[in-house]
Structure 1
Amino acid sequence: MKTTLDELLALTCVVDSGSITAAAEQLGQTPSGVSRALSRLEEKLDVTLLRRTTRRLELTEEGEAFLAQARRILASVEEAEEQMALRRQRPAGRLRVNAASPFMLHVIVRLVAGFRARYPAIELELHSSEQIIDLIEQRTDLAIRIGPLRDSSLHARPLGSSRIRVLASPAYLAAHGTPDSVTALEHHDLLGFTQPDSLNLWPLRHALGDSLSIVPTLKSSSGETLRQLALADAGLVCLSDFMTAGDRASGALVEVLAAQTLEVRQPINAVYYRNTALASRIACFVDYLSECLAQEPWLN
């Protein structure tokens, strides 16, 4: 499209105000600027829109026809801007959120009812994935990432962090004994992740360093599966507080080797692509999540 909105606005303003000078005052421009805009418009359309005399400006027949279209175009743009303003005040539309299953189940799911009550026009679509996904390929607006970020193409908003601990069920410890040293773990069933290997580094201080790379007795790709295995008395596990705080509070899982455990926290970030404008529906979800997480005792 060759014609600009500024040129359409200049034409309608001149016609409505009756002169170039009056239109210039209304638009906050110089008369020469408005005159040039009209000349450019006529040149682009290759038609005369206004007959200029020393006393008045008069629309040609072509000008009458074009003015009607110009008014409709400007009215449509104004309506679109008003709609966007309304969406900022009352965010609406589909919002696709991705998170690993544990965070989705233990954190986001509990907040959905409150979020929908506050923003009823937003249509939430929740997806779980144990692997890091491509947001564009998966048509995802926002993802919650646990752990260090590696993708520099992402915007990130920190939401806090969650400590990791070594845990076991009382029944497992009763049956196998409670380890009193890091070396004693050699005689226990250890529950770990299939990948990445960094998730099998437990924050335990020992003679050779400040972390212990375990060889799992039983592996899973899902932290929630490992939690359920620990609750089912299958062994010791190292998991984040955001998914085990309730279990520790109820006594279903207890911390093991607390004296040897370093305080290691996993960062929690809300991420979206850098070339994505932060739509109001994304911003309000992140704001709501941040507001609710601030009240969680496990968050730093």
Structure 2
Amino acid sequence: MSIFDNLDLLRAFATIVDSGSISAAARKLRMTQPTLSRQLQTLEAESGTALLRRDTHRMSLTEAGQQILIDAQALLSMAEECESRLRNAHVALSGKIRVFSTIDFGQTVVSRLISSFIQANPAVRVELGYSNRPLHMIEEGCDAGILAGSLRDERVVSRHLGDITRCVVGSASLLKDHKKPGKPEDLGSFPWVALSGSQFGNPKLMTLHSGTQNCTLDLEPVFLTEGGASIREAVRMGLGVAVLPEWFVEEDLLSGRMVRLLPKWHAKPWAAQIVYPSQRRMPERVKAFVEFSTQYMATVLKPKSK
């Protein structure tokens, strides 16, 4: 007999992890704490190893617990979908989808995408998390991620959604103290604010393009951060110049709060992509979300560059 034959034990384990404690999970499942503790002990006994590390302050997954959690979530999701299909004669999508996104892209474009998807599928519920560490989110059991930047890993399938164009910007107040640049090399004398994260490239190297011309700058950013909103605020205050997505600074450029520097030059576009686990069976609602995202992004992002 396999540990995966008992969905009740797997559901108990997944709920404990999701709730953060046995007591919180017991309330959620409407059972007593001793009963839930016994179910966890039974699952660990059948697994032949500890699944959770527990002390007085916090609870964390063991390596075995992490793997079993991923498989348990997939099985529970499939069971939920089958039950939903039997319960409903029509083929309406229902259930929860766990999505993650890079922070600023998620708070704007992806949030609008998800809102449109839910409006089209009212029985679906979406949980959106933010992270610039996408592989960590996949390991935590998320169904899909919509990212700005590149990601290549055999554990995920990646589908291109379009290109995010980027430009060099600075504030009007900064230009009072620095001569407006006439060529890319002039930007080397400016203070820089940059985005960190492996999928965004090396923050200390910036390559700009204009037609067939290229110029690579060696930078020493005065401020490195994982959030584009932090960069935008720093640029607004005149701390330095930065390369940011055009859609992200459009209002600042129109209001005059920011100025586009070297308008004929641009940074390499970021790829926008949707990723999902390569080894995990996708429920119908997740497949529908992936297709919807692909079509939606085609209307708001430029197509892939040839």
TM bracket (short chain): 0.5 to 0.7
Q: Secondary structure at the match of 1:294?
A: helix
Bigger radius of gyration among the two: 1
Aligned twin of 2:275: 271
Amino acid at match of 1:224: A
Amino acid at match of 1:279: P
**Alpha-carbon spacing, 1:293–1:170, altered in 2? closer, same or farther (3 Å):** farther
Aligned twin of 1:35: none
Q: Which of these residues, 210, 214, 217, is aligned with residue 222 of structure 2?
A: 217
The reply to whether residue 115 of structure 1 matches residue 117 of structure 2 is yes
Q: Secondary structure at the match of 1:269?
A: strand
**Alpha-carbon spacing, 1:209–1:143, altered in 2? closer, same or farther (3 Å):** same
Quote how far apart the aligned CAs of 1:256 are: 0.9
Aligned twin of 2:207: 203
Once residues 263 and 189 of structure 1 are traced to their aligned partners in structure 2, the CA distance between those partners, rounded to angstroms, is: 17
Once residues 273 and 87 of structure 1 are traced to their aligned partners in structure 2, the CA distance between those partners, rounded to angstroms, is: 30
For 1:172-206, what per-residue CA distance to the aligned partner results, in whole angstroms no more than 9, with x for missing partners?
A: 22443322222322332211134445244323259
Q: Secondary structure at the match of 1:89?
A: coil
Quote how far apart the aligned CAs of 1:289 are: 2.5
Cα RMSD after superposing both structures: 3.2
Unmatched runs of 5 consecutive residues or more in structure 1: 2-76
Q: Which of these residues, 99, 102, 105, is aligned with residue 103 of structure 1?
A: 105
Kept in 1, the 8 Å contact 2:243–2:267? The answer is: no
Aligned twin of 1:131: 133
**Alpha-carbon spacing, 1:83–1:266, altered in 2? closer, same or farther (3 Å):** same
**Alpha-carbon spacing, 1:222–1:81, altered in 2? closer, same or farther (3 Å):** closer
The reply to whether residue 258 of structure 1 matches residue 260 of structure 2 is no
Kept in 1, the 8 Å contact 2:99–2:126? The answer is: yes
Aligned twin of 1:238: 243
Unmatched runs of 5 consecutive residues or more in structure 2: 2-78
Once residues 134 and 83 of structure 2 are traced to their aligned partners in structure 1, the CA distance between those partners, rounded to angstroms, is: 36
Q: Which of these residues, 225, 229, 234, is aligned with residue 229 of structure 1?
A: 234
Once residues 158 and 168 of structure 1 are traced to their aligned partners in structure 2, the CA distance between those partners, rounded to angstroms, is: 30
Amino acid at match of 1:257: L
Q: Secondary structure at the match of 1:258?
A: coil
Aligned twin of 1:94: 96
Quote how far apart the aligned CAs of 1:126 are: 0.7
**Alpha-carbon spacing, 1:171–1:87, altered in 2? closer, same or farther (3 Å):** farther
Amino acid at match of 2:189: H
Quote how far apart the aligned CAs of 1:121 are: 1.1
Once residues 185 and 130 of structure 2 are traced to their aligned partners in structure 1, the CA distance between those partners, rounded to angstroms, is: 36
Aligned twin of 1:51: none
**Alpha-carbon spacing, 1:133–1:125, altered in 2? closer, same or farther (3 Å):** same
Q: Secondary structure at the match of 1:133?
A: helix
Amino acid at match of 1:218: F
1:171-186 counterparts in 2 under 5 A?
Answer: 171-186=173-188
Quote how far apart the aligned CAs of 1:134 are: 2.8
Q: Which of these residues, 139, 147, 154, is aligned with residue 145 of structure 1?
A: 147
**Alpha-carbon spacing, 1:284–1:179, altered in 2? closer, same or farther (3 Å):** same
Once residues 169 and 292 of structure 2 are traced to their aligned partners in structure 1, the CA distance between those partners, rounded to angstroms, is: 31
Once residues 234 and 285 of structure 1 are traced to their aligned partners in structure 2, the CA distance between those partners, rounded to angstroms, is: 40
Quote how far apart the aligned CAs of 1:131 are: 2.1
